[in-house]
Amino acid sequence: MQNQPMLLRNAGHVLTGLPGEAARSPARDLRIEDGVIVEMGRGLESWPGERVLDASDCVIYPGWVNTHHHLFQSLMKGVPVGINSTLTPWLKSVPYAFRAAVDEDFLRLAARIGMVELLLSGCTTIADHHYVYYPGMAFDPSEVLFDEADALGARFMLLRGGATRARDAEEGAPAHLRPETLDGMLAHVQDVAGRYHQSGPRPMTRVAMAPTTITISLATEELRPMARAARELGVPLHSHLSETVSYMEHCREAYDRLPLEYAAEHEWLGPDVWFAHLVHLADSERDMLVETGTGMAHCPQSNGRLGSGVAPAPALARRGAPVSLGVDGAASNEAADMLSEAHYCWLMHRAHAGAASRPRPEGTGEQGADAVTVEEIIRWGSAGGAGVLGFEGVGTLEPGMAADLAVYRLDEPRYLGLHDRAIAPVVSGARPYLKYLLANGRVVVEDDAIPGLDMDALRAQALDTVKALLRAA
Ligand SMILES: [Zn+2]
């Protein structure tokens, strides 16, 4: 039931998504009413009519917020032709090669698989950068995506992608490869925002203006009108940027600018903008992100998988730039869930910092193990994400905030012997049993399963669809 009051009791640890000392709450019980945390403490008594959820020995995290995904790719995992490719050839041989297959049924199934995977990792807010739009489509992908999220009970944000310039545009290209017009894109964003964009506290659905890649997908003179149209509508701006060195090469050749200089010149920086990746940044570009409050969707697993590099997320976060976590599409991240992402993030930045250590005296000696802490990664993946997406009242566990939270049970041998069980979901590298997942105060996962979801049918549909794709290839 949507609004049944609840009392979560006896948690072993509660991590909050807040900074510093507040990252760990002394509370063991949380009271929830109308989708909001109303009280946190120890030894809270249950009230009549409350459902009591036992969290004994469990670890409670804020619901993860995923700030960059491409759900349509959830049926394009591990495609052999792209498995050892860098971004540019991979884009051509995987997501663009399968673009024609993305009809309504395909998108619905792919979205469901991706969302189920995320929910079972403890994610309650999903932002999907969907860019398969073209003139004359037989269906509106936006509706499919909002529908699927609503059925599963997750908060959902559509990052409405697309392009007015096609990659390698050819005369007479098939319909699914044709670019849109700027007016067509803007009219659709206005329509979708009118139906789904909520502001104010604890929104369930939001929309962003999100051309696929601002340095490639739009004509230069279209960037500023698009940014202005978004600000007029009150929706934020999102795009891919600086994922590989080729972004810098392309920007230098085409515009004689660094990618972030190009963005700045066309009003594409600010606290209402966040970019996916931001791996390759000049020092001056880092300063621009910090000074303007422009956010990052950090996608470490995808950056590792495609050999793109290591984004300077810890350095930017230390200087106050907004950092969040995104899984990116499953065609470039075969573990597109938030716990995998957090675990890899934790290790990657330590390895990266350690790789820079040199023997003393001229070098630095051992270093790297303090590159990023578990608490920081949880913060990026919860409050940080809600901040860049503009989900007000979401992302931390405190009274007055949305009751979005994951209750992990640590029963497996891997969790036995831990001196600090609070860190297990991030450091131990597997998905713990998810006893409960609450989104907006509603139980959306219980006993590691999604009530009402036929997982066998989902498996069978996925296998059939991949077989059909292989036959068609
Ligand atoms: Zn992406």
pLDDT score at 170: 61
What is the C-alpha separation between 105 and 461, in angstroms, rounded? 10
Could you tell me the distance, in angstroms and rounded to a whole number, from the CA of residue 275 to the centre of ligand 1?
A: 10
Closest CA to 314 of 369, 262, 395, 258: 369
Distance 69 CA to ligand 1 centre (A): 6
Cβ-proximal residues to 14 (8 Å cutoff; 6+ apart), any chain:
24, 25, 27, 28, 30, 40, 59, 60, 397
> 351: CA distance to ligand 1 center in Å?
24
What is the DSSP-derived secondary structure letter of residue 23? G
If you search the block for the tokens 């698009």, which residue do you land on? 226
CA of residue 323 to ligand 1 center, whole Å: 16
Say how many Å lie between the CA of residue 453 and the centre of ligand 1. Answer: 28
Question: 402: phi > 0 → left, psi -120 to 50 → alpha, else beta; which?
Answer: beta
Task: Give the β-pairing of 24-25 and 13-15.
Answer: antiparallel
**β-strands 6-9, 29-33: how paired?**
antiparallel
Which CATH number describes the domain made up of 6-62+395-446?
2.30.40.10
Q: What is the pLDDT of residue 22?
A: 98
Which residue, 172, 207, 206, 155, is CA-closest to 186? 207
CA distance 11 to 8: 8
Report the separation in Å between the CA atom of 276 and the middle of ligand 1, taken as the mean of its atom positions. Answer: 6
Q: How far is CA 453 from CA 40, 110, 448, 459, in A?
A: 32, 15, 12, 11
Q: Determine whether domain 64-385 maps to CATH 3.20.20.140.
A: yes
pTM above 0.95, yes or no: yes
8 Å CB contact between 95 and 130: no
Contacts of 370 (CB under 8 A, 6+ apart): none
Order the strands of the 24-25 sheet from edge to edge: 24-25, 13-15, 59-62, 405-409, 433-439, 442-446
Continuous H helices in 326-440: 338-355, 374-379, 385-389, 424-427
Instruction: Return the structure tokens found at 127.
Output: 């932002």
> Strand 59-62 and strand 295-298: pairing?
unpaired
Residue 74 Cα to ligand 1 middle (Å): 13
CA of 328 to the centre of ligand 1 (A): 5
Distance 40 CA to ligand 1 centre (A): 37
Q: How is the chain split into domains, by residue range?
A: 6-62+395-446, 64-385
341-355 confidence digits (pLDDT tens): 999 999 999 999 999
**For the segment 245-266, what is each residue's pLDDT rounded down to a tens digit?**
999 999 999 999 999 999 999 9
> Could you read off the pLDDT of 211-235 as tens digits, one per residue?
999 999 999 999 999 999 999 999 9
120 Cα–ligand 1 center, Å: 21
| Whole-number pLDDT of residue 174 | 82
Cα 89 to ligand 1 centre (Å):
15
CA of 394 to the centre of ligand 1 (A): 23
Residue 371 has which token pair? 């590159």
CB 117 within 8 A of CB 74: yes
Half-sphere exposure of 201 (CA within 13 A, CB side): 9
CA 87 to ligand 1 centroid distance, Å = 10
Rounded to the nearest angstrom, the distance between the alpha carbon of 163 and the centre of ligand 1 is 14
Q: Evaluate the omega torsion of the peptide bond into residue 361 and state whether it is cis, within 30 degrees of 0.
A: yes
Distance 68 CA to ligand 1 centre (A): 6
- Kindly give the parts of the chain with pLDDT less than 50: 1
328: nearest Cα among 340, 319, 343: 340
Closest residue by Cα to residue 399 from 36, 10, 26: 36
* pLDDT at position 1: 45
